[in-house]
Amino acid sequence: KSISLSSNPSTITCISNDFGYESLFSRQIQALGKKDDVLIVISTSGNSKNIIKAINQAKINKLKVVSFLGNKGGKCKGKGYLDLIVNSNSTARIQESHIMIGHIICELIEKELKI
CATH code: domain 9-113 is: 3.40.50.10490
Among 51, 114, 108, smallest CA distance to 80 is for 51
Q: Determine what percent of the chain falls in helix, strand and coil, rounding each to the nearest 5.
A: 55, 15, 30
Q: Which secondary structure element, helix H or strand E, spans residue 61, and what is its range?
A: none
Model confidence pTM above 0.75? yes
CA distances from 59 to 1, 8, 34, 41 (A): 20, 23, 10, 13
Summarize pLDDT for 9-24 with one digit per residue, the tens: 999 999 999 999 999 9
Domain ranges of the chain: 9-113
Summarize pLDDT for 47-78 with one digit per residue, the tens: 999 999 999 999 999 999 999 999 999 999 99
Summarize pLDDT for 66-112 with one digit per residue, the tens: 999 999 999 999 999 999 999 999 999 999 999 999 999 999 999 99
Beta bridge partners of 41: 67
